[in-house]
Structure 1
């Protein structure tokens, strides 16, 4: 028995457990494990066969914030793989990922911003840099949270035109949204 088939059976058991359990805690634990496995390229073919990307996508609309966080984290990990990226884009997931930008959980938001960068391509670029997303990134770039501020700044510099950023900044100022007070610079 190869390590390859052992890995498949183990991942299949995780997916089955996730689908069969009614315990929220067990679901969270299994999803966290699947998200971790999605970080390792050696697991990609098994995860594809088990349609784990779709499982992660399904989590993005859950009421349970922990399931959303792990689903977004797993999806973010899978976005680096070209085949998974194509599947995620083809499944119309961009809006689900964009919706995660408004999560109250830092890890969910960080994963969503990162996933949008990974999912950017000629076909998705206009959606990923739509005005609401750019405005959101401008807001994040002013955050007291250093990780979020840095990630949003990279997004604005690497994925948006100067004009898009300027328009978002002008709108931000026009709306009179007070900037968060920085406790340290």
Structure 2
């Protein structure tokens, strides 16, 4: 068992090194996609935490390459399910970076961003996650044609916000067009 665990760490370390050493965007995308997938398996969480992969994923959220952003937020979403990783991500002041992903034209990126915000929700972080701009964005998503986006927005509003907050956000949006605070709806 120990040998397999050691091999797993070395393999993940090789991926991180490959990402850092290559100049090829295509190779970086492949490595990021692999790391994001490995972040889904709890057996890899400790190794990914040791390798500071959450920071790598966070760095990708500010890239111009939409694939980097999509794989970065997907990996962050997977890691944020672990309480220790969640706390590390919150300490990195990730909420604004994750929130920026809500304006992505890619539905997968937006879905991962919403899920990540839900995973990052703690009693201390909830006031930032249930900010009025985010609530208004979720209210707009809840009217979206995409069933996945619409349903996830409803879950966010139920799980991360009080009924009073939702009502206040709805009242604040009354009479507005379906764009608010610079967060456009993703393309369906």
Q: Which residue of 1 aligns with 2:61?
A: 60
Backbone CA RMSD of aligned residues: 1.2
Q: Could you tell me which runs of 5 or more consecutive residues in structure 2 were left unpaired when the two chains were aligned.
A: 180-188
Q: Which residue of 2 aligns with 1:48?
A: 49
Superposition pairs of residues 28-43 of structure 1, within 5 angstroms: 28-43=29-44
Q: Which residue of 1 aligns with 2:128?
A: 127
Structure 1: 4+ residue segments shifted above 4 A? none
Q: Which residue of 2 aligns with 1:145?
A: 146
Superposition pairs of residues 1-185 of structure 1, within 5 angstroms: 2-177=3-178
| Contact 2:60–2:69 (8 Å) recurs in 1 | yes
CA displacement at 1:49 relative to structure 2: 1.0
Q: Aligned partners of 1:132 and 1:177: how far apart in 2?
A: 13
> Residues 32-62 of structure 1, C-alpha deviation per residue, up to 9 Å, x if partnerless?
0000000000001111111100000000000
TM-score (norm 1): 0.93
Q: Aligned partners of 1:158 and 1:78: how far apart in 2?
A: 20
| Contact 2:140–2:178 (8 Å) recurs in 1 | no
Count of residue pairs the alignment pairs up: 178
DSSP 3-state at the match of 1:174: coil
TM-score (norm 2): 0.92
Q: Could you tell me which runs of 5 or more consecutive residues in structure 1 were left unpaired when the two chains were aligned.
A: 179-185
